[in-house]
Structure 1
Amino acid sequence: MMDQEGPYPLSQEFQRVLLSTAPSTLSPILDSEHDITPQNRKAQTDDDLFDLETQTFEKWVPFLRQSVDKEVLGQVSEELRNSIDDNFEGLETQFLQDSQVSDKLKNSIGQVARIQDLIDHSLLQDVNDLQEKLTASTNEVITKKQIYINNKKTSLKISEATILINKVLQILELSNKCQELIVEADFFKALQNLDSLEKIYLQEFKNYNFQFLREIYGSIPFLKSTIKDECINLIRNSFNSNLGKNLSDVGETVFKVYNEELVPMWLEKRDSMKLTSFKFNSPVEISMRDEVTLKKTDLENFFHLDEFHDSILIFKSLGEQDYLISEFTKEYNFRKIKLTDPLSYKKSPPSSHKPGDLSNDPFAQLLTMDNLKEFFLKVLGFLLYDISLQRSTDFIFVENNYNATNEFWDGLMSRLEPYLRFFITEKLQTEEELSAFKDFACVYVAILENYKLNIEPLSKILRSLFLKFCHIATTAFKQEFDVLLNDDDFMPLTINDRHLYEKVLKICWMKEDELVKCQDAATNENGEFFVTLPFSPLYPMTCTLIKKTYTKLTYFIGFFYRHDLHKLSNTLVATIDTIFSKVVNEKIRAKLDTTSREEIAQILINLDYFIIAAKEFSHLMSKENIVQNPTIEIRLSSIKKYVESRKYAETKLIELIDTKVSDILETVELDWNATTVRTEPDISIIDIAQFLEMMFSSTLVNLPYSVQTLLIFREFDSLTRQFLDVLLHGTPAHISQESVLNFEVDMRYLESIIPRIFPTSGDESPNNSSELQSPMTAASPTITGFGRSTNSIENNIKSLEATFTELKQCIELLKQENFTEYADPEIRPRKYPRVKPEDASILIRKAQVHSSSATALEDDSRGSLGADSSGRDLSSNSSRIAKFFNRY
C-alpha cells in the first residue's frame, strides 16, 4: 500500500516535470517535420522520433527510481493516465491563446498532412511486404508440413517393423527356450513358454504369411506331446527310484524307530511312572513320545515328489488331467503287482488252491520268518509312500478317494490272510517263534494305526497268534501235568522245610481256617518243623504250573494288545478253563478208574481243593481282567466240572467200598440153626468192623468231613440193609432162637464201632477203642475244629446209630415168645414202629420157641458185649484184612 502523501503529490510533480520538459521534447520532433522528405522518410525510425535528451531523462529518473523502489511504477503510470485530463485541462485553450503556438500549429497542418501521407504510404508498403512475406512463409510451412507428414509415416512404419521384428525375435527366443527347458526337464516352464508363444502368434501373426512362424506354431502340439511323454517318463523314473529297494529301506527305518527307540523309551517311562495299565500306542504313550525321535519318521525325509506336482500342473494346464490319471493308474498298478509278486494284491481269494491247501503255492513256499518280515517291511514302505503321494497331490490321482491306501491294504490282506494263517499253523511251532512274530506284528499294527490305516486284518492275525500261543501253552501244560500226575504218590503232602511250607501256602489256595490251623500245627512236640497238608504234591505243583501258564499268557498280550480285548479275554478265560477242566479235571477223573481206595480218596481230596483253586482263580481273573473293567465277573465253567468229578469220585469211592463190604459180607457165614449162644461176635463180623474202622480212621481220614459223614452214613445204612435182607431173605425157613441172639451180638458189635469212627478233640472214643485209630494229619479237614464241633459229632453218632433201629426191632421181634405184641395196635407203634407188616410176618414164620437157657444167654450177652468187644485185641485179624486188600 502507498503512503497518504502518494502517489498524487509525486504524480503532480512528475507531471510538472514532464510538462516542463515537453517543449524541449516536442521541438526537435516538430522541427524535424520540415526536413522530412520522401527519400529520408524511410530512413527515419520511430526510435529517432522519440529520442529523449539526456538531461530531460535525468530529470525523470529520480521519480521513476522512487516508484521502482516502492514497487508502484505500474500504479504511477495508471495514475498519470487517469490524471491526464485533469493536468492537461485547458491546455488546448492555452495553446490556442498562445500566438506562437498558433503559428506553429498552422505551419504544422501541412506537415501533419505530409506526415499522414507518409504514414499511409509507408503502411501500405509495409502491408504489401508483409503479405508477400506471409505468403512465402505459408508456402514454406505447407512444404515442411508435407515433408513432416511423410517422415512421420515412415517413422511409424519403421516403429511397427521394429515391434514386429521384436515379437518375431521373442517367438524365436520362446521356441528356443522351450526346447532348452524340455532338455533340462523343466517342463512346466517349457509349457508356460509354449503358451506365451501360442498367444503371441495368434494375437500378432495369425494374419501374416510368415512361413517360418507357421512352422514354429505348427511345432507346438509336438512340443506339448513331448512334454506329456517326458512327464510320464519322469513319473516312471520316480517310481523306479521310490518303489525299488528304497521301499524296504523306508519300512525298515520306520520300524526300527518304533521298535528300537519308541518302545524302549515307553517301557522305561511306564516302569518309572508306574503306568503299567497303559499300553504302547495308547493315547497316553503317544502324547509322551519324543518329538526329535518322531521327526525321524517324517515321510518328507524319504520321498521327493516334485515331479508329480509339476505333472499335475502341466496336465491341468493342458486340460488332460484324465489322461495323466489314466497313465498313472496303469503304471502304479504295474508297480503294485511287482511289489507283491508272487502274491497278487487283488481282493479275490486264491482260485487255484482250496482254502488251507497252500503247500504248493509259490508264495507259501517262501514263507519264513525273515522272508515274511522283509515282505511286510516292503509293503509298509509302499503304504507310507502311497500315503505321502496321495496327501501331497490332494488325492488327485485317486480321484478324491481318501480311502485308496486302505483299499489297497485291505485287498492285499484279504489275499494274504490265508497265507498268514498257514504260516501260523504250519511254521510257528514254539512259544519263542510266536512271541517274536507277535512283537513284530504288534509294532507293525502300531505304525499302521498311527497313519490311520485299517488294523482289523492284522488284529485278526494277532488274535490267531494268541490262539496258537494258548494252544501251545496248553499242550506244554498238558505234558508237564502228565509228568506230575504220573509222579504223584496220592498221599498227603508232608513238609519239614519252613521255607518250602511258606512257598506252598503262597502258591496254593486253601480255606482261611485251614491256613490258621496249619500255621498252629506246623511244629511238632520236639520243636522241629513238621506239617502234613491234606492234598497230595500234585495240587501245589499244578497251581504253580497254572499260575505260570496264566502269567505267560497275560504277558504275551500285555504290552501291545489294545484292541478286541473282550475277545482276547474270552480266549484267555477259555484257555484257563480248558486247562482246569479238559486237562487237569479229565486226567484226574480218568484216574478214578483205579481200584485203589487210597488213590480215589486222595483224588477226592485233591478235587475238593481244585474246586477252591478254580473259584479263587476266577476271582483273580476278575480282578486282573485284561479289559480293565471292574464290573466284570469271571466264573470258570470248570468249577462245575470239578464238582461233577468230585461227585463222581464220591460215587466211585462208595461203589468201591460197597464192593469191598459186599465181598466181605460174602465171607460171612452165620449159623441160623445154632443151639448155643455166643458172647463174642463172629470173626467175619469182626473183619467187617475192622475194615470199616480202619478205612474211616486212616484211609479216608483226610476226606472232607461232609464226605466222610456221607460215606459213613452210606456204608452203615447199606450194611444194615444188607444184614436185614440177609435176616429176611438169606436165612432158612426156620431159625433158632440162639442164632437170633448170636445175630444180635454181631449187630451190637457193629454198632459199637460207630463212636470210634467219629473221634472227639483228640480224646479216646467212648468205648476206649482208640488203639484202632490211625494218626490224623495236622491239617486234615476232619479234625475237630475244621468244620465240625463235638456236638455235631455226637449228633452224627446218634443219627448213625439210628440206622440200626429197624434191624434191632426185627431182632427184638424174633426174640419174643408171644407175637401178639406186634398185633396189639397200642404196643406195635411204640415198640416196633420201623418193622413193616410183611417183614414181620416173614420173621414170625421163621421164629422158633425159646428155651429158658436162650433167655439167660441173651441177658449174659447184653452184659458182656460192651466190655469184651471194646477191649478185644483185634490185631490178630490184621493179617487177614491185609491179605484181603492184597487181592485188589
Structure 2
Amino acid sequence: MDQEAQTQVSQEFQKVLLSSVSASLPSIVDDDTKNLSGQDDVLELDPSAFDKWVPYLRRSVERDQLGLATEELYNSVDDHFEGLEVELLQDSQVNDKLRNSIGQISRVHNLIENSLVRDISNIQDQLNYSTNEVIMKKEVYVNDKKTSLKILEANILITKVLQILELSNKCQELIIERDFFKALQNLDSLEKIYLQEFKNYNFQFLKEIYNSIPYLKSSIKNECINSIRNHFNSNIGKNIADVGEGYFNVYDEKLFPTWLEKKDHMKLANFKFNSPVEVSLRDEDLVEELNLEKFFHLDEFHDSILIFRSLNELDYLISEFRREYEFRKAKLIDPLTWRKSQKGNGSAFGDFTNDLFAQSLTMDFLKQYFLKILGFLLYDINLNRSTDFILVDNDYNATNEFWDALMLRLEPYLKHFVRKLQTEEELGEFKNFMCMYVCILENHNLNIEPLYRLLIVVFEKVCNVNTTAFSAEFDILLHDDDFMPLAISDRGLYEKMLKICWMKDDELAKARAEAAEQNGQFTITLPFSPLYPMTCTLLKKTYNKLIHFIGTYYRHELHTLNNILVKTMESIFSKIINEKIRAKLDSTSREEIAQILINLDYFVIAAKEFSNMMTRDNILQNPSIEIKLASINNYVESRKYAEDQLIELIDSKVTDILETVDLDWRAMEVRQEPDISIVDVAQFLEMMFSSTLVNLPYSVQTLLIFREFDSLTRQFLDILLHETPPKITQESILNFEVDMKYLEGIISRIFPQRESESNGNNELQSPLMITSPTINGFTRSSNTIGNNVKSLEATFTELKQCIELMKLENMGEYNDSEIRLRKYPRIKPEDASLLISKVEIPMNDVQSSFDDIDLNNSSQESNFRELSTNGKKIAKFFNRG
C-alpha cells in the first residue's frame, strides 16, 4: 500500500516538474540570441512553479524518502525527455531561430577568439613576471631557511651545552651539599647527553667536562665512604653508650615496674618477666619507645647503597664498610683486645693480674661497658635490617657472630669478676643488671647462653654465700643453746613457735589443744631446745632468699637451678646442721645428748616437711616432680648414733657405780634393807629415767630402760658367778636377794601406769610438757606400759633363779629334771654347778645333789643351752641384737 502511494506521489511530482520545464523551454530558446550576444545565460524557474514542489519535497523529507524521490525523478527524466531532442529539431519555429543564430554565433566566435588571444598574452606576461618573482623569492626563502635551520641548530646546541654546564655545576653543588645520589643522577644525565649529542663535536671544554665525570664519581664514592666514617664517629662513639643506657632504662624503669604491678593485680605469680605472658601484656606506648629507628638515622647507608649499586661497585662499598666496621668494633671493646684467634679459656688470654681489662673491672665499669656494647648491638641489628643485610653480604647471623665472639673473649673475665664478689648485695646487683640485659638480648634473638651460664654461676655463688652465712649463724645458735626443753610463758610467742617449727600434724593439733586448755598463767614446755625453732627460722629465711633471688628473672635451665637449690639445702641440712649437731654428741653430759636426740627427732620431721615445701614451690613448674632430701636418712643415722652414745654413756656411768658396790659375801646376818651402794644404783637409774631422760621419745626411753636393766642384771649375775669368794654364806645370799628385789622394785616407778596414779591426784603437771614425736610407732598406753613392765621384770628372771638355787637346803631337788626345768630353766648346767659349789653346805649333800646330774647328757645340755638364750629375746625384740 505504501509502495502504491509512493508511486502515485512520484507521478504527481513528475507532472508538476514537467509542467514547470515545458513552461521554461520557450523562454530559453528565445533567449539564445541574447546569450550569444554576450548576455548572461540565465535559466530561471517560476517561483510559483517551485512552490508547487515544496509539498512533495516536504512529504518525502518527513517520510525519510528524499533519496527515493530523487531516484524516481531521474528515472522520470529519462522516460519523459527521451524523444525531446527529436521533437525540437522537427519544430520549424525552432529551426528558424537556429538558422538566424548561426551568423550571430560566428560573430560571437570571432569576438571570443580575439578576446581570448589578448587575454592569453596578458596572462603570459603576468605569468612570466610572477615566475621570475617567485624564483627570486624562493631563492631568498631557501637562503633564509638554511640560515634559520642553522640558527635553530645553534640554539639547540647552545641549550644542550648550557644543560651540560648546568648539570656539571649542579653536580658540584650537590656534592658540596652531600646529596650524592642526586649528584650521581646528574652525572649520568650529563654523560648521556654528551655521548648522544656532542661525541662527534670537537668542543674542548665539553671534553674536559666529560673527562671529569670519573673524577666526580670517584669523589662521590670517597665522600660516601667519608660520610659513613663520620656517621660512625657520631653514632659509635660516646653516643652509643647513651643509646644503650636509654634502651636499658625503658626495660628497667618502665616495663619491669609495670609488670610487677600487673602481676600482683592479676595474680600471675608463676609467670616471670620477659615470659610470653608478660610480653603479650606490655603497654604499646612503652613498646613504641623501643623502636630502634628512633635511636638511629641511617640515611648515609641508604644513599651509599643506591650510589654504589648504580655504579655497579657494591662489592667495593661492602669491603670498605667491613674494614671500617672492624676497626670500630676493635675500638668499641677497648680496653679489651680483639683477637681473631680465641681458644675459649681464661689462660689463653694471659694473666689477669697483668691484664688492663681485668684490673679495670668494677661494677660501675662493667655496667657502662655492657651498656655501650648493648648500644652497638642494637645499632648493628637496626643497620643490618634497614639495609636488608646487604652490607654484611646477606649474613643474617652477623650480629650474633660478633656477640658470640665477644662473649668468648669476655666470659673468663666475667667469671673472674664474679669470683671477686663476696657479698649477697654485690651478687644481687650484678644479677639484676645481667638478667635485664639477658631479657633484652633474648627479645632481639641474640645468644643468651654465655650470660645465662654466668647467671647460674652467680646463683651458685649466692648459695655458697648463704650457706657460709647460715653456718656462721648456726654456730652461734648451737653455742648459745642451753640444750633444755623450751619453756614458753607467752601465748603469742607460743603460737608463733607453732607456725615456725615443723611438727607432725597430730602433734601440732595436740599442742594447740593443750594451749587452748591453759587458763590463767600460761606456761607450756616444748620438748625441743631453742636451737630447733631458731634453726627452722634460719632455714626458711635462707630458702626464701634463694627462691626470691631466682624467682623474678630466671626462666631457663630450671632443672639446673633446682639441682643447685636442692644441693644447697642438702648441704645446709647435712653438712652444717647434722654434722655440727653430731659433733656435739661427743659430750659427756647425758642431759645434753638426750636433748640432742630429741632435737634430731624434730630435725627428721623438718627435713621431711622441707622436702614437701620444696615440692609445693615447684620451681621446675612440673607437678610430677617430687623432691626428697637425702639428709632425712642422715638425721636418722645421727639419731641412732645419739642413742648409741647415750647408751654408752649410761652404761659407763652404771659400770662406774657398780664398781663402788662392795657386798659382804661372808655376812652372818640377814639385812632387811638393801645395801647403800645398791640404793645409789637404784636412785641413779630412777633419777635418770624419770627426770633426765623423761623428754625422750617413749620408744627411746623403753629401749634405754631395757638396755640398762638387761646390762645391770647381767653384770650382777657376772658378779655372782665370778667375783664372789669361793664360799659364800646363806645370809649373804639372802641379803643379795633383798638388794635385787629393791632394784626390781624401781621398775614400776619408772613406768607409771597413769599420771593420776603417779601423782596421787588428778592435777596436771606444771609446766605442761608436749611429748616428743615417736619414731618407731610406740604409744604410751596403759597396756603397753604394763607389758613393758612385765617384760622388764623378766630380765631379773635368771638372776632370781640363781638366788633360789643357792637358797636350796636340799640340793637333791635340783636333781629332779622335771623340777629343774620348771624352776631353773634359765640357768646353765655349768653355772648351776659353779653356784652350788659356792654355797656353804655339807659336802655329802653337795655330792648327792650332783650324783644324779649327768652333765654329759646331750639332751639336757641342749635344753639348758636353749633356755640360757631366752634372756636375749627381749633385747632382740627391741632391735638390740
Q: TM-score, normalised by structure 1?
A: 0.84
Shift in CA distance, 227/23, structure 1 to aligned 2, threshold 3 Å: closer
Q: CA deviation at 1:332?
A: 1.3
Partner of 1:846: 838
Partner of 2:388: 394
Q: Does 1:94 align with 2:85?
A: no
Q: 1:659 aligns with which of 652, 656, 661?
A: 652
SS at 1:799 equivalent: helix
Counterparts of 1:187-336 in structure 2 under 5 Å?
A: 187-336=180-329
Query: Residue 178 of structure 1 contacts residue 194 of structure 1 at CA under 8 Å; is this kept in 2?
Result: yes
Shift in CA distance, 813/202, structure 1 to aligned 2, threshold 3 Å: farther
Partner of 2:24: 18
Shift in CA distance, 157/733, structure 1 to aligned 2, threshold 3 Å: farther
Q: Which amino acid aligns with 1:808?
A: K
SS at 1:359 equivalent: helix
Per-residue CA shift, 1:224-259, capped at 9, x if unaligned?
Answer: 111111111111111111111211211111222222
Q: CA deviation at 1:532?
A: 0.9
Query: Residue 698 of structure 1 contacts residue 776 of structure 1 at CA under 8 Å; is this kept in 2?
Result: no
Shift in CA distance, 777/712, structure 1 to aligned 2, threshold 3 Å: farther
Higher mean alpha-carbon deviation, 128-137 vs 837-846, is at 128-137
Q: Does 1:799 align with 2:791?
A: yes
Q: Does 1:186 align with 2:192?
A: no
Q: For the residues of structure 2 that align with 1:486 and 1:796, how far apart are their CA atoms? A: 38
Q: Which amino acid aligns with 1:176?
A: N
Q: For the residues of structure 2 that align with 1:29 and 1:354, how far apart are their CA atoms? A: 135
Q: For the residues of structure 1 that align with 2:173 and 2:25, how far apart are their CA atoms? A: 96
SS at 1:494 equivalent: strand
Q: Does 1:638 align with 2:631?
A: yes
Partner of 2:358: 364
Q: Which amino acid aligns with 1:830?
A: R
Q: CA deviation at 1:194?
A: 1.9
SS at 2:826 equivalent: coil
Q: For the residues of structure 1 that align with 2:842 and 2:426, how far apart are their CA atoms? A: 89
Identity %: 64
SS at 1:90 equivalent: helix
Partner of 2:824: 832
Q: For the residues of structure 2 that align with 1:109 and 1:619, how far apart are their CA atoms? A: 155
Higher mean alpha-carbon deviation, 232-241 vs 629-638, is at 629-638
Q: CA deviation at 1:677?
A: 3.3
SS at 1:669 equivalent: coil
Q: CA deviation at 1:413?
A: 2.0
Q: Does 1:381 align with 2:375?
A: yes
Q: TM-score, normalised by structure 2?
A: 0.85
Partner of 1:780: 771
Q: CA deviation at 1:156?
A: 5.3
SS at 1:446 equivalent: helix
Query: Residue 488 of structure 2 contacts residue 494 of structure 2 at CA under 8 Å; is this kept in 1?
Result: yes
SS at 1:489 equivalent: coil
Per-residue CA shift, 1:497-551, capped at 9, x if unaligned?
Answer: 1111111111112233333443444489983111111111111111111112222
Q: Which amino acid aligns with 1:328?
A: F
Partner of 2:596: 603
Query: Residue 585 of structure 1 contacts residue 642 of structure 1 at CA under 8 Å; is this kept in 2?
Result: yes
Q: Which segments of 5 or more consecutive residues in structure 2 lack a partner in the other structure?
A: 1-5, 59-65, 844-881
Per-residue CA shift, 1:784-810, capped at 9, x if unaligned?
Answer: x99321101111111112222222233
Q: For the residues of structure 1 that align with 2:519 and 2:201, how far apart are their CA atoms? A: 131
Q: 1:411 aligns with which of 385, 399, 405?
A: 405
Q: For the residues of structure 2 that align with 1:782 and 1:187, how far apart are their CA atoms? A: 89
Q: For the residues of structure 1 that align with 2:142 and 2:842, how far apart are their CA atoms? A: 182
Quote the RMSD (CA, aligned, Å): 3.7
Counterparts of 1:50-89 in structure 2 under 5 Å?
A: 50=40, 60=46, 62-63=48-49, 83-89=80-86
Q: Does 1:684 align with 2:690?
A: no
Higher mean alpha-carbon deviation, 522-531 vs 682-691, is at 522-531
Q: CA deviation at 1:667?
A: 1.3
Q: CA deviation at 1:649?
A: 0.8
Q: CA deviation at 1:630?
A: 2.2
Q: CA deviation at 1:574?
A: 1.9
Q: For the residues of structure 1 that align with 2:289 and 2:737, how far apart are their CA atoms? A: 99
Shift in CA distance, 109/307, structure 1 to aligned 2, threshold 3 Å: closer
Q: For the residues of structure 1 that align with 2:685 and 2:772, how far apart are their CA atoms? A: 19
Shift in CA distance, 440/14, structure 1 to aligned 2, threshold 3 Å: same
Query: Residue 699 of structure 2 contacts residue 778 of structure 2 at CA under 8 Å; is this kept in 1?
Result: no
Counterparts of 1:668-817 in structure 2 under 5 Å?
A: 668-764=661-757, 778-781=769-772, 787-817=779-809
Per-residue CA shift, 1:691-726, capped at 9, x if unaligned?
Answer: 111101000000011111111111111112222222
Query: Residue 492 of structure 1 contacts residue 535 of structure 1 at CA under 8 Å; is this kept in 2?
Result: yes
Q: Which amino acid aligns with 1:663?
A: D
Partner of 2:538: 545
Counterparts of 1:466-545 in structure 2 under 5 Å?
A: 466-522=459-515, 527-545=520-538
Partner of 1:581: 574
Shift in CA distance, 7/657, structure 1 to aligned 2, threshold 3 Å: same
Counterparts of 1:334-349 in structure 2 under 5 Å?
A: 334-346=327-339, 348=342
Q: For the residues of structure 2 that align with 1:240 and 1:191, how far apart are their CA atoms? A: 25
Query: Residue 514 of structure 1 contacts residue 786 of structure 1 at CA under 8 Å; is this kept in 2?
Result: no
Higher mean alpha-carbon deviation, 569-578 vs 223-232, is at 569-578
What count of residue pairs does the alignment treat as equivalent? 822
Q: For the residues of structure 2 that align with 1:685 and 1:286, how far apart are their CA atoms? A: 82
Q: CA deviation at 1:562?
A: 1.9
Higher mean alpha-carbon deviation, 746-755 vs 645-654, is at 746-755
SS at 2:525 equivalent: strand
Query: Residue 400 of structure 2 contacts residue 447 of structure 2 at CA under 8 Å; is this kept in 1?
Result: yes
Q: Which amino acid aligns with 1:529?
A: F
Shift in CA distance, 829/327, structure 1 to aligned 2, threshold 3 Å: farther
Q: For the residues of structure 1 that align with 2:737 and 2:48, how far apart are their CA atoms? A: 191
Counterparts of 1:450-461 in structure 2 under 5 Å?
A: 450-461=443-454
Higher mean alpha-carbon deviation, 236-245 vs 160-169, is at 160-169
Partner of 1:446: 439
SS at 1:395 equivalent: coil
Query: Residue 781 of structure 1 contacts residue 787 of structure 1 at CA under 8 Å; is this kept in 2?
Result: no
Q: For the residues of structure 2 that align with 1:58 and 1:712, how far apart are their CA atoms? A: 172
Q: Which segments of 5 or more consecutive residues in structure 1 lack a partner in the other structure?
A: 33-47, 852-888
Q: Does 1:8 align with 2:1?
A: no
Shift in CA distance, 200/670, structure 1 to aligned 2, threshold 3 Å: same
Q: For the residues of structure 1 that align with 2:479 and 2:432, how far apart are their CA atoms? A: 37
Query: Residue 89 of structure 2 contacts residue 95 of structure 2 at CA under 8 Å; is this kept in 1?
Result: no
Query: Residue 470 of structure 1 contacts residue 553 of structure 1 at CA under 8 Å; is this kept in 2?
Result: yes
Q: Which amino acid aligns with 1:803?
A: T
Q: Which amino acid aligns with 1:26?
A: D
Per-residue CA shift, 1:107-161, capped at 9, x if unaligned?
Answer: 7667767777887898899899989998998898888878877776666555555
Query: Residue 523 of structure 1 contacts residue 529 of structure 1 at CA under 8 Å; is this kept in 2?
Result: no
Partner of 2:869: none
Shift in CA distance, 810/208, structure 1 to aligned 2, threshold 3 Å: farther
Q: For the residues of structure 1 that align with 2:471 and 2:349, how far apart are their CA atoms? A: 30
Per-residue CA shift, 1:586-635, capped at 9, x if unaligned?
Answer: 11111111111111111111111111111111111111122232222111
Q: Which amino acid aligns with 1:514?
A: E
Q: Which amino acid aligns with 1:724?
A: L
Q: For the residues of structure 2 that align with 1:539 and 1:80, how far apart are their CA atoms? A: 148
Q: For the residues of structure 1 that align with 2:433 and 2:518, how far apart are their CA atoms? A: 60
Q: For the residues of structure 1 that align with 2:18 and 2:391, how far apart are their CA atoms? A: 106
Q: Which amino acid aligns with 2:529?
A: S
Query: Residue 16 of structure 2 contacts residue 53 of structure 2 at CA under 8 Å; is this kept in 1?
Result: no
